[in-house]
Structure 1
Amino acid sequence: MTVGGDFYYPPYEFLDDDGRPTGYAVELTKAIAEVMGIKVKIRLGPWGKMRKELEEGKVDALQGMVYTDERQKNYDFTPPHAIIHQSIFHRKGDAPAPDMQSLSGKEVIIQNKGSIHDTFLNSGMNVTLIPTDTHASALRLLASGKHDYAVVANLPGQYLGKKLQLSNLVMSGTPIKSFRYCYAVKKGNVELLALLNEGLSILKNTGRHQKIYEKWFGVYEPKTIAWTLIIKTSLVVIIPLVLILAGVMYWNRTLKREVAIRTNEIYQQQQQLIQADKMSTLGIMASGVAHEINNPNSLVLLNTPIIKDAFEDMLPVMDEYYRYHPEFTLAGLDYDRLRDELPEIISEMLAGAKRIKGIVEDLKDYSRIEDTKDMAPIDINNIIDTSIRLVESHLKKATDNFKFIRGKELKPVMCNIQRIEQVIVNLLMNACQALTSRQQSVIISSYNSRDGASVIVQIQDQGAGIAPEHIGHLTDPFFTTKRNSGGTGLGLSVSANIVKEHSGTLTFESNAGRGSNVRLSIPVKEYPVSEKKVISCI
């Protein structure tokens, strides 16, 4: 993919003395490309030009765009990877401007098409804006004695002021506004957004994001006191001596501990692989759901009970008023009608908000890492029901002919609910992606095997099918025929490992152009009658 950015926005992103892209955001983008296994080209230029190139599809994403409600109409954003503070700069000897309102009637230099530019345009303030291509040109213009103030990002402003030796400029008080600094893609590009979300999540969870952040911004943090160097130096001498002594005295114990550590590392790597695949699928299904639904829904959940309590507290007053004013109306309705209907309306609003919260919680539960040893006897139909609910929107979007043929009197299987749910979700998503028209069907069915030793879940689609030479590689790690559309090659590999953990099998039948048939088989666990207890996952 091609990622764009500002060519002169240090230390976030800029061109070095040799004309090569560098900075915090550039290094972060390269790290995401590395962990996601993709090739990336980074192109930096004037900010206004780069925004236009994103809109025209010449670049796939911008690595550093400030989130605003207005921009949300045209772009989709990842969670923030930094916070940008905007400050007012003025010349020494001139009056400082402590806030935006104090800029009214002034000539203010800003970066063209930047976040503060958009803020002023939407504010309706009486300000004469002087757009420039870069923060550096804005500060130079102010230092030369032209115009009244400059509003630029805090860190780049301080960085450039020192580098360019603009000693006659000072910052007016504290920052006036803070913005979330995110990756941005063109509206509706959910696959690329999911890929960036996943890569950013991996970097944050592994601590790599923090290391990149500290590398570029640690210089602005307070220095530690000198005596810490003495302690560190002492430890460098003492620790090796202690380790050598411990190695002689506890050699056998160290070997056993090393074996345990290596075993745990292998287990953790497997957990991370499974989690990466889950988050990839989850990102496609629910990209932006936390920001777009959960946050505003929390306000509804918080405020609706207050509205209900307020209405109930006002009832005696309004009832008394209604006694003497029978024509009393509220919201265009007769009071006696609204008095009966409003509590029910509020209750319905609260119930709807709680249902939204429940759906979001289902998605969070799906993405949570589960212990492979946490198994119990389960009715497989319950897991299929949950999986269908998770991918329901994708099924509706992909086909008009989806069917679940529910098996009857299925024997319970011993399994981990979250793991088998993950397998079925992956298989259903693959079936949806294989379809080439809405008239083609996807059918999932469940039944006991003929010998009664296992329960079968079968997923059939009438999609494009799989080429014969690819059948044998479907469960190979990182093998995918959908690399250009964001495929990671982890879905079936992880699914096969999960099924293997459950002593089951995963088989594929397909012909190119004639659809596919996937069978998931899980062995039945027999229990004495007194011990039978099937867990529902609804």
Structure 2
Amino acid sequence: MKLAKLIAFIPILSVLLLSVMLPGAAAVDIVPSEPRKVMRVAGDNNFPPFEFVANGTFQGFNVDMLNALSLETGISFEFYPMPWSEAIKALESGKVDAVQGMKYSQERAQSYSFSESYFTSSQGIFVRKDSYSVHSLTDLQNRRIAVQEGDISSEAMQRIPNATVLATENQEEAIRLLLGGQVDAFIGNQITGQYVLQKNRQQDQVKLVGDPIAPTDYGLVVLKKNEALLGEINHGLRELKSNGTYAKIERKWFGEYIYPSAPRLKELLSYVVAGLVITAAVLLLILWWNLTLKRELKKRLDAYKKTLDELARRDRLQSLGQLVAGIAHEIRNPITSILSYSQALPFKYDNKEYREFFTMHVTEEVMRLNRIVTELLDFAREKPPEKTLFKLEEPVRAVALFFHNLLEERRIVVQLDVPDSAYVWADAQQIKQVLINLIRNAIDAMPGGGTLRIAAQERQPFVILEIEDTGEGIDADDLPKIFEPFFTKKAGGVGLGLSICYQLVRDNRGEIEVTSEKGAGTRIVLKLPSQLEEEEHA
């Protein structure tokens, strides 16, 4: 549009420049120019792409044509967008001087004078996609048909007997009636109808049927009495067609892209190349930055893993230390017995009954010591699960025994309810480690005493083990974080105990769940497999 205006304005600009440059131009008297002619023009406010209002701006093919005519002829056009039927009434009442686009017909020619044609307009029949009984105007008998009020389609309707006509303000409203099933067909401008359907993404719901209806000329109209206004209009139209402006406007609105000139293309190409170079440089920078970040991330992950391994080792050693402290009295008792028996042996060596007593009890105490040391080493040693089928009651009672003195010291009552028939398929030592960590946490949560309940029940193919205390409980905000490494609320704690429990349970194909309420205690549920899994059979 801007290009068309510029081309049309070049002759005027040339005349002005020549008038200034001619010799003696300064001596020529300046004669005031005639007042600029103004023509009031009405147009349909919703007839795209010919004329329509979008974002508060009146635009379209007809609007661009009259703006180009304004540059060519010097006529100033004032636009008045309104519904089509009102535009015709405004012309007939003299409120406007012209209507900027109207399709020619003999009936209309009796009331209006038409400019030279600058387009060929055709009507069409629109029906829903699932309609197969309408192919031409004759098929519309006894049917409901939507047309735009004041549109030339009304003339075609006169040839259809017994048709029910619904007049709408614009073609978009007529299409809504068609899609809503309120009419059987809609007759209107082919281009406008397809434009509206595509804009609203409804083209897959409607189809055009039959041949185009009455392809005829299309142009600006005035009343018969104002036919003299068309002289300059027609001259301007011929100029627009001859200088190429019309062709560019037509291609803009009806199908062909207006390519820029060769210098403009070179300029655009240079911008594209510059853009590609900048994009390539940015991509290379991003790639370099990405590689740098990957290297830094790997370095930090390695450091993090090393720290995690070290802290896990420290946590295991801390657990081991607590375990050793808990069983120290168990080791001291058999050592004291062995020492006492050994010291008395020289004096009672001749006593046969004492020798037999010594042999039996010292052997028992040594075997007891050996078992404690073996379990201690197994607990401290890091290894993958070595699964066996064992009674769950055994590690539960063993761990309860480890903490016996501490439980009595804290005045904690232990309730054990683990059936003898509950067997678990897992690594017994790893499950024991899990129990040690969980029971130690429960004891720490009850510094003033309480009740520790350990119960199990069989739900094939699992055994459900519950560990419940009446301790301090866990804050609701902290509960989702308890299995995260390094999360702890204990003074001096590392925060890997529950994380290790979680990992060991998962390694043994089990599940662990914790529920707690601040001030009301904590309940931990372990779900452990009770039989050999199919993939392990293989």
TM-score class, shorter-chain normalisation, is 0.3 to 0.5
TM-score calculated relative to the size of structure 2: 0.40
Q: Which has the larger radius of gyration?
A: 2
TM-score calculated relative to the size of structure 1: 0.40
